[in-house]
């Protein structure tokens, strides 16, 4: 059994604060404008096509999102 320690509450709080911070206009633009490789672009398009084909209606997509979140949430426990 591995000896894994959970991060402290303050570490989790700091990480959350960092990931929820508001970027400056320049930071946001730099992120949005970062070059996309052709492979990355094709992978994103493939994922969108798969999702819209597998779940053709908005209701099915929302239902998928609920299941996906429930799965993710269960894995966090």
Q: For another protein, give the closer residue by CB, 1 or 75.
A: 75
Contact 66, 56 (CB under 8 A): no
Euclidean distance between CA atoms 5 and 46, whole angstroms: 38
N-terminal to C-terminal alpha carbon distance within the chain = 17
Q: Is residue 15 involved in binding another protein (CB under 8 A)?
A: no
For another protein, the binding residue among 28, 37, 67, 75 (CB under 8 A) is: 28
For another protein, the binding residue among 10, 24, 37, 75 (CB under 8 A) is: 24
Q: Is residue 67 involved in binding another protein (CB under 8 A)?
A: no
In the bound complex, what is the minimum distance in angstroms from residue 1's beta carbon to another protein? 29
DSSP string, 9-35: HHHHHHHHHHHTPPPPHHHHHHHHHS-
For another protein, the binding residue among 9, 49, 67, 77 (CB under 8 A) is: 49
């Amino acid at each position: 059994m591995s000896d894994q320690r959970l991060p402290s509450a303050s570490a989790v709080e700091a990480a959350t604060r960092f990931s929820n911070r508001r970027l400056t206009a320049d930071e946001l633009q730099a992120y949005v404008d970062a070059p996309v490789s052709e492979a990355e672009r094709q992978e994103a398009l493939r994922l969108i096509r798969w999702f819209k084909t597998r779940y053709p209606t908005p209701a099915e997509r929302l239902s998928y999102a609920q299941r996906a979140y429930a799965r993710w949430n269960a894995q966090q426990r």
